[in-house]
């Protein structure tokens, strides 16, 4: 009996020891010799060793973290970097690998895979099917990010909390987020967004997409709940369903304090129960330029196709979505002014707006409306590809095609294709070179190269992660024509997989 009890105690001690500390990854944690993370016990070691939080890490394999649901008496994974101990200040390169099923359920601030980061660099990491529950500052990737750079990261799952709640990052301060995407269900009270809860203190969100269902009370946005204090959103777009009470927008709930939104669009279903509800922005006190909204919007008052209420600047924008409100409803803006901006009177069901100029659908899909100075409401031509009519701009911001975006103008350079339209050669040598056209209405061509010594599988997935097709290819340069006539509008993903490497790209199907 004594031997049995002793054996059980030893086994329990070993299990507790492993559970408490995990397994140290190979490597020394330097830039030249980073820790090599390949198993869940490596992540456990990192999370329980604050001394490692200023080191360098690379992830070398996909990691299944679903068993974290049973860790720490139901509290799950302990976030890397803490508001109460020390932030994560290191480098983490996921090398496009995935962490799946991470679970964090803590009644504290800063919940996520990383809890609190400062001057960190995090890239090429996919966290999918996550479940993050906390009090405030909650996100799948990071709860609270300060002074960091986050790029090429992707998140899916559920995030729930009170304030500063985001699909990727909860509280984003003085941080640049580049080429990232969130496909989450996000629920909170105030400052709730599909990508970040808020974006403030000279932060930037660039080339990002959120396809999230977002629910909150105030300052609720498809991309971020609030954009403020010198912060920027550029080349971003949001899709999904957005629900809130006030200051609710398809992209941003509230844009203020010397911040700017440019080259962005939203295509959401937006439901507000009170006021200041907009297709792109709920309440604007700063700058919006060269943006559009195709979102449908409903609420009580101060409802706008582009912006609910504005005391800021709006230039070169348009909206087409349907408006449903009880009072102060405007085709473009319910209250405020806009320069060189238009809304579709037919699709919106609105013939009046406090700012902007109403046009028919035929006029809205005619490039002359935006470039011919004889157009009523146009003071300066928009900058289109091929310089039509009076357009003399050189940046080629806008484009128009009857087969794309229902014939309405679209942003020519917004990144909705591969991570780069022409991706640099990698050590693998197998790359996706180009997807064109993108966006597309029926079919698109995927150009890719496979290294001489390799074979590869090309797969296409929908936004839910369901594989639609998969084909094998030999070494060489290939052009694959994908006919999507039987698929619905939305985001699709293409994946090129070799033995030791994969690359993904995004495609936007718009019918």
Structural domain contains residue 130: no
List the one residue out of 472, 477, 360 whose CA is nearest residue 429. 477
State both tokens at 214: 């977002």
C-alpha–C-alpha distance, residues 360 and 8, integer Å: 78
Structural domain contains residue 468: yes
Query: Is pLDDT above 90 for 511?
Result: no
C-alpha–C-alpha distance, residues 244 and 249, integer Å: 9
Residue numbers of the domain that contains 444: 431-509
SS3 for 456-509, per residue?
A: EEEEEEECCCCEEEEEEECCEEEEEEEECCCCCCEEEEEEEECCCCEEEEEEEE
What would the pLDDT profile of 234-271 be if each residue is shown by its tens digit? 999 999 999 999 999 999 999 999 999 999 999 999 99
The CATH number that applies at residue 474 is 2.60.40.1930
Structural domain contains residue 118: no
SS3 357: strand
DSSP letter (8 states) at residue 322: -
Structural domain contains residue 22: no
C-alpha–C-alpha distance, residues 364 and 109, integer Å: 47
Angle between helices 2-21 and 40-47 (to 10 degrees): 80
Query: Is pLDDT above 70 for 19?
Result: no
C-alpha–C-alpha distance, residues 327 and 454, integer Å: 63
Centre a 10 Å sphere on the Cβ of residue 493 and count the other Cβ atoms it contains: 18
Contact 441, 509 (CB under 8 A): yes
SS3 41: helix
What lies within 8 Å, CB to CB, of 408 at 6+ separation is 292, 294, 318, 320, 364, 365, 400
Structural domain contains residue 477: yes
What would the pLDDT profile of 93-128 be if each residue is shown by its tens digit? 998 889 999 999 999 899 999 999 999 999 999 999
Q: What is the mean pLDDT of residues 501-509?
A: 75
What does pTM read for this prediction?
Answer: 0.83
SS3 for 54-74, per residue?
A: CCEEEECCCEECHHHHHCHHH
DSSP letter (8 states) at residue 141: S
What would the pLDDT profile of 198-213 be if each residue is shown by its tens digit? 999 999 999 899 999 9
**Highest-pLDDT range among 41-55, 394-408, 465-479:** 41-55
Total of domains in the chain: 1
- Average of per-residue pLDDT values in the chain: 90
What would the pLDDT profile of 467-489 be if each residue is shown by its tens digit? 788 888 998 999 999 999 999 88
List the one residue out of 65, 25, 67 whose CA is nearest residue 49. 25
What would the pLDDT profile of 286-304 be if each residue is shown by its tens digit? 999 999 999 999 999 999 9
Q: What is the mean pLDDT of residues 377-391?
A: 97
Structural domain contains residue 335: no
Structural domain contains residue 30: no
First-last CA distance in the chain: 73
SS3 408: coil
Query: Is pLDDT above 60 for 335?
Result: yes
Quickly state the pLDDT bin for 391 (edges 50, 70, 90). Answer: very high
Structural domain contains residue 191: no
């Amino acid at each position: 009996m004594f031997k049995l009890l002793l054996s059980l105690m030893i086994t329990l001690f070993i299990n507790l020891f492993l559970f408490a500390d995990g397994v140290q990854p190979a490597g020394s944690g330097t830039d030249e010799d980073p820790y090599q993370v390949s198993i869940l016990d490596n992540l456990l070691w990192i999370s329980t060793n604050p001394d490692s939080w200023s080191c360098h890490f690379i992830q070398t394999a996909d990691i299944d973290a679903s068993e974290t649901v049973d860790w720490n008496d139901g509290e799950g994974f302990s976030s890397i970097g803490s508001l109460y101990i020390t932030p994560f200040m290191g480098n983490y390169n996921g090398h496009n690998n995935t962490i799946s099923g991470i679970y964090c359920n803590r009644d504290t601030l800063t919940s996520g895979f990383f809890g609190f980061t400062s001057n960190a660099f995090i890239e090429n990491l996919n966290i999918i099917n996550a479940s993050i529950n906390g009090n405030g500052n909650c996100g799948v990737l990071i709860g609270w990010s300060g002074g960091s750079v986050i790029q090429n990261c992707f998140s899916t799952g559920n995030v729930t909390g009170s304030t500063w709640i985001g699909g990727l990052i909860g509280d984003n301060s003085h941080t640049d987020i580049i080429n990232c995407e969130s496909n989450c269900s996000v629920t909170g009270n105030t400052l709730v967004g599909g990508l970040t809860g808020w974006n403030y203190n000279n932060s930037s969100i660039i080339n990002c997409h959120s396809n999230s269902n977002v629910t909150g009370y105030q300052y609720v946005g498809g991309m971020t709940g609030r954009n403020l204090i010198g912060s920027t959103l550029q080349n971003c777009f949001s899709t999904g369903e957005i629900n809130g009470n006030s200051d609710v927008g398809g992209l941003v709930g509230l844009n203020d304090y010397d911040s700017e939104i440019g080259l962005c669009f939203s295509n959401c279903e937006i439901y507000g129960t009170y006021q200041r509800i907009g297709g792109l922005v709920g309440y604007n006190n700063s700058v919006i330029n060269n943006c559009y909204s195709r979102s449908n919007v409903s609420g009580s008052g101060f409802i706008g196709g582009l912006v609910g209420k504005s005391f800021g600047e709006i230039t070169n924008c348009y909206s087409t979505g349907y408006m449903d409100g009880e009072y102060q409803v405007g085709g473009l803006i319910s209250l405020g002014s806009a320069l060189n901006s238009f809304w579709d009177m037919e699709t919106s069901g609105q013939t009046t707006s406090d700012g902007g100029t109403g046009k028919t659908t035929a006029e809205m899909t005619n490039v002359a409306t935006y470039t011919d100075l004889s157009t009523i409401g146009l003071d300066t031509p928009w900058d289109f590809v091929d310089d039509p009519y009076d357009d003399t701009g050189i940046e080629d911001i806008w484009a128009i095609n009857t087969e794309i975006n229902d014939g309405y103008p679209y942003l020519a350079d917004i990144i909705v294709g591969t991570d780069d339209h022409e991706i640099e050669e990698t050590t693998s040598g197998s790359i996706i070179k180009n997807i064109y056209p993108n966006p597309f209405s029926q079919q698109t061509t995927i150009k890719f190269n496979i290294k001489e010594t390799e074979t590869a599988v090309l797969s296409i997935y929908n936004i839910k992660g369901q594989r639609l097709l998969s084909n094998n290819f030999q070494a060489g340069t290939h052009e694959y024509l994908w006919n999507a006539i039987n698929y619905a509008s939305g985001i699709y993903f293409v994946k090129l997989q070799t033995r030791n490497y994969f690359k993904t790209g995004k495609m936007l199907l718009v019918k």
